[in-house]
């Protein structure tokens, strides 16, 4: 395919991505330099870098940044361990049972996140099933407070994200070279040794991919936190996204929210740029 | 890995899987149960596992007023839905071309959605449901049409421009969405498109485009070049070779990608919340039920959650193979 045909085919997609992704991103940087509320959207007032300084000296911004990091540090390892274990177990069954399990396990991942969180939350309402179990069997009175809300966000994150590494690892296990496993069996390797020395190295490229996607997704977690905290500041459970949203919607400081979104983008670049460079090299080699 | 043979081992494996399955569906079960309870039963501190189910929550969620012949209409609507779903499920056994059956089913669903508000007084929730359908279908159609053109071009062209676009798309896919969504509000105000379906669809298409072109490209890469080259020797040009030869064999891949676009559009909360004031889609409408002052928010939230889940579960059941295939393709190819 030559260059001009390529551009004719790809033009609609390139135009929409330029107009509605690249331009808005540059606009966000520009709007971040303005004092803007809902009353003066058409006529924002230029304030230079004041919003950016404002964000960087805002203790609530750093608090939400810390909680986002805590969320990433707990949810990502947990989902990888759970997903990998379940994938290994699922690999042991076959036929109809495998299909049924797989469909059930995928449900939390496919459902609307707002609805999924709402459903998970129903278990912890004062009349919820888990509240009752905790009270009756563990003598623990569940109440919403700064700690339990954070714990719920993490627990829900694990419930919701685990199917993704699970199905990825499961697909990876299907391409496992059988001769290696057989050779290991002949040498008398135990099941654990096979997992440790054959399977984990075999899926390591998948682990890296899962890590990258999970980091990007966890960094922008919003829906579940929105539903579980109802944006109530007393729980101190804001993530970067929910705090930016609040600055835009409740506090109505659109300029500062834009500046915050831009700084968030800068923050994620640390993870993103090495990955992008690697993908670039890979694509150049493949062509 | 080879299978565990020991009977005790097999039992333990199934036990662990069943426990995890139970944990996965428990919130669904519990919410569904709550949605069929009266407010008193739902608020009971000791969970009622046995209760007399009631449709009241669904009635109050979907209807503004209860008509006299409500039961008849409800049965009629339910029957129509079951017939249409059955038609789709058994399409392959009916000796008519599948395309014809899908067309009939689509027209049938459309007619049903058009007829319902003319038969009964529906509530706002029905409007949000219709909004969701418009936005989801619009997003899927636009993003798949322009995405498959671009995905095909990216799979076949090897110049530097293609690599730059792919990497750019990858970067945009990873960025936190608020950085684009906040300026969309400004764009909406400037163009007067705020609170319209058009703006929501266009922005959703843009947000989903990087994912769509990457996934479609990976499917197009699997199709041998010789195929369209042969078609072009036989007198097709690029475009006709693409539409007549490539697209027909690409259907499974296109459906997989469309399914992910559908989920992304149907699930989107943040973008719709910022760009609409009245034309909400279901996630935004449902988020209003969390912690409302209305004492009934508990059961209504449950009913709305179940209502929003049923259509998506039907779609997933119908296209399950494509979904797993898409997840696996995305996983293995990165």
pLDDT, tens digit (0-9, with 9 covering 90-100), for A60-77: 999 999 999 999 999 999
Can you tell me the mean pLDDT for B241-265?
Answer: 87
Can you tell me the mean pLDDT for A95-114?
Answer: 88
The region, left, alpha or beta by phi > 0 then psi within -120 to 50, assigned to residue B246 is alpha
ipTM of this predicted structure: 0.88
Q: Is B167 on the interface with A (CB under 8 A)?
A: yes
Nearest CA to B202 among B213, B193, B189, B214?
B193
- What was the pLDDT predicted at A24? 92
CA-CA distance, B322 to B29, in Å (whole number)? 26
Please tell me the total count of domains within chain A.
Answer: 1
- One of 2.30.140.10, 3.40.1160.10, 1.10.3720.10, 3.40.50.300 is the CATH number of B127-334, namely 1.10.3720.10
Q: Is B310 on the interface with A (CB under 8 A)?
A: no
In a domain, A192, yes or no: yes
pLDDT category, B330, cuts 50, 70, 90?
A: low
Beta carbons of B150 and A280 less than 8 Å apart:
no
Q: Is B86 a residue whose pLDDT tops 80?
A: yes
In a domain, A38, yes or no: no
- What was the pLDDT predicted at B48? 81
Can you tell me the mean pLDDT for B95-110?
Answer: 84
Residues of chain A contacting residue B149, judged by C-beta atoms under 8 Å apart: 9-10, 12-13
In a domain, A220, yes or no: yes
Encode pLDDT of B279-293 as tens digits: 899 999 988 877 655
In a domain, A35, yes or no: no
Q: Is B331 a residue whose pLDDT tops 80?
A: no
Beta carbons of B30 and A42 less than 8 Å apart:
no
pLDDT category, B329, cuts 50, 70, 90?
A: low
Q: Is B122 helix (H, G, I), strand (E, B) or coil?
A: strand
- What was the pLDDT predicted at B50? 85
pLDDT category, B227, cuts 50, 70, 90?
A: confident
Instruction: Please tell me which residue of chain A has the smallest CA distance to B207.
Output: A21
| Residue A258 distance to chain B (closest CA, Å) | 7
Q: Is B333 a residue whose pLDDT tops 50?
A: no
Q: Is B295 a residue whose pLDDT tops 80?
A: no
Can you tell me the mean pLDDT for A72-100?
Answer: 93
In a domain, A137, yes or no: yes
CATH of the domain at A239: 1.10.3720.10
DSSP state of B91: G
Instruction: Please tell me which residue of chain A has the smallest CA distance to B319.
Output: A103
pLDDT category, B334, cuts 50, 70, 90?
A: very low
In a domain, A10, yes or no: no
| Residue B290 distance to chain A (closest CA, Å) | 7
Nearest CA to B301 among B23, B24, B26, B27?
B27
- What was the pLDDT predicted at A213? 86
| Residue A103 distance to chain B (closest CA, Å) | 8
Range of the domain at A99: 48-286
CA-CA distance, B79 to B149, in Å (whole number)? 40
- What was the pLDDT predicted at A189? 84
Which value, to the nearest 10 degrees, does the dihedral of the CA atoms of residues B3, B7, B8, B10 take?
A: 40
Q: Is A5 on the interface with B (CB under 8 A)?
A: yes
A positions 234-273 inside 8 Å of B (CB): 240-241, 244-245, 248-249, 254, 257-258, 261-262, 264-265, 268, 272
Encode pLDDT of B26-51 as tens digits: 999 999 998 998 888 888 888 888 88
Instruction: Please tell me which residue of chain B has the smallest CA distance to A243.
Output: B178
Can you tell me the mean pLDDT for B72-82?
Answer: 85
- What was the pLDDT predicted at A188? 83
Beta carbons of A86 and B17 less than 8 Å apart:
yes
Give the lowest-confidence range in B223-227, B269-273, B328-332.
B328-332
H or E segment to which residue A45 belongs = strand A45-46
Q: What is the mean pLDDT of chain B?
A: 86
Q: Is A278 a residue whose pLDDT tops 50?
A: yes
More confident position, A70 or B74: A70
Can you tell me the mean pLDDT for A200-209?
Answer: 89
CA-CA distance, B106 to B87, in Å (whole number)? 11
pLDDT category, B92, cuts 50, 70, 90?
A: confident
B positions 267-306 inside 8 Å of A (CB): 267, 269-270, 274, 282-283, 286-287, 289-291, 298, 301-302, 305
- What was the pLDDT predicted at A251? 85
In a domain, A55, yes or no: yes
Range from A128-132, A280-284, B245-249 that averages highest in pLDDT: A128-132
């Amino acid at each position: 395919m030559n260059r001009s045909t390529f551009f004719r085919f790809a033009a609609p997609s390139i135009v929409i991505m330029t107009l509605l992704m690249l331009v808005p991103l540059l606009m966000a940087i520009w709007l971040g330099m303005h004092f803007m509320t809902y009353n003066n959207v058409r006529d924002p007032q230029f304030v230079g870098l004041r919003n950016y300084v404002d964000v960087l000296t805002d203790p609530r911004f750093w608090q939400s940044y810390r909680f986002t990091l805590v969320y990433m540090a707990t949810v990502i390892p947990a989902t990888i361990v759970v997903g990998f274990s379940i994938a290994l177990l699922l690999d042991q069954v076959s036929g109809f049972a495998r299909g049924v399990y797989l469909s059930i396990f995928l449900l939390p991942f496919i459902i609307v996140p707002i609805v999924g969180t709402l459903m998970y939350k129903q278990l912890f309402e004062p009349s919820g099933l888990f509240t009752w179990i905790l009270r009756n069997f563990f003598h623990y009175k569940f109440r919403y407070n700064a700690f339990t809300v954070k714990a719920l966000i993490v627990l829900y994150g694990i419930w919701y994200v685990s199917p993704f590494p699970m199905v990825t690892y499961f697909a990876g296990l299907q391409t496992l070279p059988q001769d290696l496993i057989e050779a290991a069996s002949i040498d008398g390797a135990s099941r654990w040794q096979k997992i440790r020395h054959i399977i984990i190295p075999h899926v390591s490229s998948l682990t890296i991919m899962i890590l990258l996607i999970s980091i990007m997704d966890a960094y922008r977690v919003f829906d579940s936190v929105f539903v579980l905290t109802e944006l109530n500041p007393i729980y101190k459970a804001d993530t970067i996204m929910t705090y930016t949203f609040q600055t835009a919607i409740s506090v109505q400081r659109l300029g500062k929210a834009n500046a915050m979104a831009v700084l968030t983008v800068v923050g994620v670049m640390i993870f993103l740029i090495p990955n992008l460079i690697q993908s670039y090299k890979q694509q150049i080699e493949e062509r | 890995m080879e299978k565990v043979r020991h009977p005790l081992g097999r039992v333990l494996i199934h036990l662990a899987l069943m426990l995890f399955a139970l944990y996965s569906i428990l919130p669904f079960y519990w919410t569904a149960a709550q949605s069929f309870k009266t407010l008193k039963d739902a608020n009971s501190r000791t969970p009622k596992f046995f209760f007399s189910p009631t449709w009241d929550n669904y009635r109050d969620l979907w209807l503004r007023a209860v008509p006299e012949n409500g039961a008849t209409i409800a049965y009629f609507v339910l029957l129509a839905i079951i017939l249409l779903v059955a038609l789709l499920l058994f399409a392959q056994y009916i000796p008519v071309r599948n395309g014809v059956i899908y067309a009939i089913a689509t027209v049938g669903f459309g007619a049903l959605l058009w007829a319902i508000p003319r038969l009964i007084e529906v509530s706002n929730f029905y409007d949000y449901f219709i909004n969701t359908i418009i936005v989801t279908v619009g997003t899927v159609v636009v993003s798949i049409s322009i995405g498959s053109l671009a995905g095909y071009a990216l799979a076949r062209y090897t110049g530097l421009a293609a690599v730059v676009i792919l990497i750019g798309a990858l970067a945009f896919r990873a960025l936190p969405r608020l950085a684009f969504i906040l300026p969309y509000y400004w764009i909406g105000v400037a163009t007067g498109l705020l609170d319209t379906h058009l703006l929501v669809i266009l922005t959703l298409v843009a947000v989903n485009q990087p994912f769509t072109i990457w996934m479609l490209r990976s499917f197009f890469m699997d199709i041998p070049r010789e195929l369209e080259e042969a078609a072009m020797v036989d007198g097709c040009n690029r475009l006709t070779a693409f539409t007549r030869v490539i697209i027909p064999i690409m259907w499974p891949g296109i459906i997989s990608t469309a399914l992910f676009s559908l989920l992304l559009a149907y699930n989107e909360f943040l973008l719709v919340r910022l760009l609409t004031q009245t034309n909400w889609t279901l996630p935004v409408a449902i988020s209003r039920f969390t912690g409302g002052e209305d004492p009934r928010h508990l059961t209504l939230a449950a009913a709305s959650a179940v209502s929003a889940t049923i259509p998506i579960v039907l779609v997933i059941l119908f296209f399950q193979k494509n979904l797993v295939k898409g997840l696996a393709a995305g996983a293995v190819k990165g």
